[in-house]
Amino acid sequence: MRILVTGGSGYVGSHAVRELAAAGHEVLIYDNLVTGHRKLSQGFELVEGDIGDTDKVQKCLKGKDAVIHFAASAYVGESVEKPRKYFRNNVESGLKLLDAVLASDVRSFVFSSTCATYGVPRQLPISEDTPQEPINPYGASKLFFEHALAAYNVSHGLRYAALRYFNAAGAHPDGTIGEYHDPETHLIPLALKAVLGTKPLLKVFGCDFDTPDGTCVRDFIHVSDLGSAHVKAVEYLANGGNSIQANLGTGRGTSIKEVLATVEKVTGKPVPHEFVDARPGDPASLYADPGRAREILGWSARFSLEGIVSTAWDWEQGLPAFLP
Identify whether the C-beta of residue 310 lies closer than 8 Å to the C-beta of residue 262: no
Residue 124: the pLDDT is: 96
Q: CA 308, CA 315: separation in Å to the nearest integer? A: 11
Q: Which CATH class is domain 2-169+220-248?
A: alpha beta
Considering only CA atoms, which of 272, 254, 258, 264 is closest in space to residue 203? 272
Q: What is each CA distance from 13 to 1, 9, 107, 224, in whole angstroms?
A: 17, 6, 20, 10
Residue 51 identity = I
Per the DSSP assignment, residues forming a β-bridge with 4 are: 28, 67
Q: CA 117, CA 280: separation in Å to the nearest integer? A: 17
Q: CA 203, CA 211: separation in Å to the nearest integer? A: 18
Architecture of domain 187-218+252-288+302-317: Alpha-Beta Complex (3.90)
> Angle at the Cα of 323 (from 318 to 324), degrees rounded to 5?
150
Catalytic residues: 138
Residue 42: the pLDDT is: 93
Q: Quick one: 97 exposed, middle or buried, by C-beta within 10 A (0-12, 13-18, 19+)? A: buried
pLDDT in tens, 111-169: 999 999 999 998 999 999 999 999 999 999 999 999 999 999 999 999 999 999 999 99
Q: DSSP strand E in 108-210: where?
A: 108-114, 159-165, 167-169, 202-205
Considering only CA atoms, which of 169, 209, 203, 230 is closest in space to residue 1? 230
Length of the chain: 324
For helices 11-22 and 223-238, give the axis angle rounded to 10 degrees: 60
Residue 292: the pLDDT is: 98
Low-confidence ranges of the chain (pLDDT < 50): none
Q: What is the pTM of this model?
A: 0.96
Q: Quick one: 227 exposed, middle or buried, by C-beta within 10 A (0-12, 13-18, 19+)? A: buried
Identify whether the C-beta of residue 51 lies closer than 8 Å to the C-beta of residue 71: yes
Residue 64: the pLDDT is: 98
Q: CA 187, CA 91: separation in Å to the nearest integer? A: 27
Residues 6 or more apart from 162 whose CB is under 8 A from it? Answer: 111, 113, 146, 149, 244, 245, 246
Give the residue extent of every domain in the chain. Answer: 2-169+220-248, 187-218+252-288+302-317
Three-state DSSP state, 68: strand
Residue 323: the pLDDT is: 79
